[in-house]
Amino acid sequence: MSSAPRGFRIDPGWDGDVAGLDAAAVPGFPGGKQEGAAHLARSDAAVDDLQERLFAAFHGKEQGRSVLLVVQGMDTSGKGGIMRHVVGAVDPQGVDITAFKAPTDEERAHDFLWRIRPHAPAPGIIGVFDRSHYEDVLIHRVHGWADAEEIARRYAAIIEFERELVEAGTVIVKVMLHVSYREQGERLLERLERPDKHWKFNPGDIDEREHWDAYQDAYTAALRATATEHAPWHVVPADRKWYARIAVQQLLRDALEAIDPQWPAADFDVAEQTARLRRTMDAG
């Protein structure tokens, strides 16, 4: 695959550590912030065209291709910015974003995938998960809400769930936005300093920050366990927001190009309908 900003790809067998990956790196992209912004704007048209073809080819059908973009990351890693600047650049009619918050009592009463399954993308659609089923092997591990055996069971359930989606025609893109401890501190501080950012802050964010190393370990374990052939992970360095955006855009574009959706052929007689239409135009 040609050189392009894609973060660090995590394939099966990876034995690295998330904490060992540079959150300020810009793998696959030779330019800086300004070139990054230009690159993002320039690539919008390509993603746009691919998305419209995907929609045209499969939307409304019982079966067909789709994309699922899973976005994970610590607080302030830039998930909102990805939703706004990358996902937001795509025609909203073809996108289905689900933000998974803390589960409700009803959701808690079911298996952890119960609330996830209904949000798998329909044919022709780009589904986006802002947080996801991975929370159940991340925060649950950090806080000990599930023991090692249960976490292992969940890894297996996730692999199986994702395999089902892939077999049904979905291309899954799993992204961990990788922010550094230092950068998170700066971003939280900005939220505290600006009254127009206070609503984004909650004291629990600092509680979670105090579990930083445990979260990094939980990410490492989850990525090792769930990076599969059918659904690898991508650790996207996120200390530079502009880089994270072009990398996620590139991964989304790769997924659409892998599907290579084509304009569907007309299921009506074009000449006949044209003649029919022209008669109504003469009459008008």
Please tell me whether residue 156 binds a copy of itself under the rule CB under 8 A. Answer: no
Cβ-contact 110, 38 below 8 angstroms: no
Please tell me whether residue 61 binds a copy of itself under the rule CB under 8 A. Answer: no
Please tell me whether residue 210 binds a copy of itself under the rule CB under 8 A. Answer: yes
Please tell me whether residue 1 binds a copy of itself under the rule CB under 8 A. Answer: no
C-beta closer to a copy of itself: residue 20 or 30: 20
Cβ-contact 133, 68 below 8 angstroms: no
Please tell me whether residue 130 binds a copy of itself under the rule CB under 8 A. Answer: yes
Cβ-contact 253, 50 below 8 angstroms: yes
Q: Which residues, other chains included, contact 198 with Cβ-Cβ below 8 Å and sequence gap of 6+? A: 191, 192
72: phi then psi, degrees, rounded to nearest 5: -115, 160
Judged by CB under 8 A, the residue of 4, 83, 146, 152 near a copy of itself is: 83
Please tell me whether residue 38 binds a copy of itself under the rule CB under 8 A. Answer: no
Please tell me whether residue 13 binds a copy of itself under the rule CB under 8 A. Answer: no
Please tell me whether residue 20 binds a copy of itself under the rule CB under 8 A. Answer: no
Helix 148-167 and helix 212-226, axial crossing angle in degrees, nearest 10: 50
Query: Least CB distance from residue 49 to a copy of itself, whole Å?
Result: 9
Please tell me whether residue 278 binds a copy of itself under the rule CB under 8 A. Answer: yes
Please tell me whether residue 189 binds a copy of itself under the rule CB under 8 A. Answer: yes
Helix or strand holding residue 266 (H, E): none
Could you give the string, one character per residue 99-128, with x where binding to a copy of itself holds by CB under 8 A and - elsewhere?
Answer: x-----------------------------
Please tell me whether residue 203 binds a copy of itself under the rule CB under 8 A. Answer: yes
Looking at 20-28, 168-176, 190-198, 218-226, which segment touches a copy of itself (CB under 8 A)? 190-198
Looking at 106-114, 161-169, 180-188, 226-234, which segment touches a copy of itself (CB under 8 A)? 180-188
Burial readout 151-169 (b: 16 or more C-beta within 10 A, e: otherwise): beebbebbbebbeebbeeb
Please tell me whether residue 46 binds a copy of itself under the rule CB under 8 A. Answer: no
Please tell me whether residue 284 binds a copy of itself under the rule CB under 8 A. Answer: yes
CA distance 264 to 14: 40
Please tell me whether residue 229 binds a copy of itself under the rule CB under 8 A. Answer: no
Judged by CB under 8 A, the residue of 1, 102, 109, 265 near a copy of itself is: 265
- CA torsion sign, 102 to 106 to 111 to 115? negative
Judged by CB under 8 A, the residue of 153, 209, 230, 232 near a copy of itself is: 209
CA distance 248 to 251: 5
Cα–Cα nearest to 77, from 194, 215, 236 = 236
Helix or strand holding residue 217 (H, E): helix 212-226
Residues belonging to the chain:
284
Helix or strand holding residue 51 (H, E): helix 33-58
Which residues contact a copy of itself by CB under 8 A? 56-57, 80, 83-84, 87-88, 90-93, 95, 97, 99, 130, 181-182, 185, 188-189, 192-193, 195-196, 198-203, 206, 209-210, 263-266, 268, 270, 273-274, 276-278, 280-281, 284
